[in-house]
Amino acid sequence: MKDRRARCGSAWLIGALAMIGLAACQQQEAVPEKPPAMVHAQMVELTDDAPTITLTGEIRAQVETDLAFRAGGRITERSADVGMHVSADQVLAKIDPEEQQANVTAAEAAVRAAEAQLRQASSAFERQKTLLSRGYTTRREYDQAEEAFRTAQGSLAAAKAQLGTAREQLAQTTLRAGVAGVITARNAEVGQVVQAAQPVFTLAPDGPRDAVFNVHESVFIQEPAGRTAEIRLVSDPTVRATGTVREVSPTVDPASGTVRVKFGIARPPVAMTLGAAVSGEGRFKPRKTIVLPWSALFSQEGRPAVWIVDPSSKAVSLRAIVVERYDTGRIVVREGLQPGEMVVTAGAQLLRPNQTVTLAEGAPR
């Protein structure tokens, strides 16, 4: 009796499980298959790309001159400061002229003494000349008088030269600009004792200016379209000028890894004063590159990648790429793609490898 009940219970359990399995199969068959993901795609093509580069620099003088006293002494007066525009004859500083004035006084006294000796020697020579013509003196005395006269003339000329030198040294106690320009540095103060030729001011003469930029060395990989660049004032972009490459530093700054480039500006606008911040825009020669919208970019193990659409099966696969440059709204691809391949440009974030996609209407197929 018990065996019969057990057999009946087992049969009932098997039948119930079979019905559940059948119902599950029917439910799975009832679930509709997901349609292929709809994406936008773009055919890879080589296009002419002429990139531009914008850098920030400053306006500097093409030439800067150190101004110094030719004589040493203690500075008693300073009438110029950094940033001041000075004229050619403007006095910038003075040193104590006591020593130089004493030299002038001594030189003037020497000139007066030489003049007196010359007058005396000239009179004696004239007398000897008259006496010799009348036969009242000897040739030897005449020659001695002439020699004394010539010596007195030389002594006077030497004294006058020394006086001129002393007066020039006295004039050098006053430091003048020499040319019109802007004072860019001051290296001494009133009361300081300076040596001859010790720089006191640095002057940037009026004239051509440079726009100076520190350019990363990687920029020089590409060939520029020309030697000019458009220079604009950062504070007022409407103020602009054209700069021409004048100097490229032959060495790289070890601290910043940049190369200093100077663009000469022949006639800078008045607003482009020394030290003004400017931006420079240059162009490179166009070349064939692959350009994609930024939305096509994906990531594969932390590296840039894109989804490639198989033209026959419409299945997608992930492809690693090398990006040469990131621009606003687009990327420039250096390696990883070939012309004619189709790349997903919208909807890439929801894809998985080997997934079948449908290209949105209007997209290239």
**Which CATH number goes with the domain that contains 313?**
2.40.420.20
Least confident of 93-107, 128-142, 218-232, 296-310: 218-232
Number of domains in the chain: 4
Question: Is there a domain that residue 155 lies in?
Answer: yes
Q: Closest Cα to residue 142, out of 131, 153, 155?
A: 131
Question: Is there a domain that residue 2 lies in?
Answer: no
Question: Is there a domain that residue 166 lies in?
Answer: yes
In angstroms, the Cα distances linking 97 to 18, 31, 64, 159, 162 are 123, 108, 28, 21, 17
Question: Is there a domain that residue 77 lies in?
Answer: yes
Which residue is listed with tokens 């349609």? Answer: 35
pLDDT tens digits, one per residue of 55-83: 999 999 999 999 999 888 999 999 999 98
pLDDT tens digits, one per residue of 345-354: 887 777 888 8
pLDDT of 31: 46
For residue 41, the enclosing domain spans: 37-49+288-359
Same domain, 111 and 155: yes
**Which CATH number goes with the domain that contains 120?**
1.10.287
Polymer length of the chain: 365
Share of the chain above pLDDT 90, in %: 41
Same domain, 333 and 354: yes
Same domain, 308 and 345: yes
**Terminal-to-terminal C-alpha distance of the chain:** 74
**Which CATH number goes with the domain that contains 263?**
2.40.30.170
Pair of tokens at residue 177: 């600009």
Q: Is the pTM for the entire model greater than 0.75?
A: no
DSSP β-ladder status, 37-43 and 342-346: antiparallel
pLDDT of 14: 52
CB-side neighbour CA atoms (13 Å) of 268 = 27
pLDDT of 364: 45
Least confident of 30-34, 102-106, 227-231, 352-356: 30-34
Same domain, 77 and 200: yes
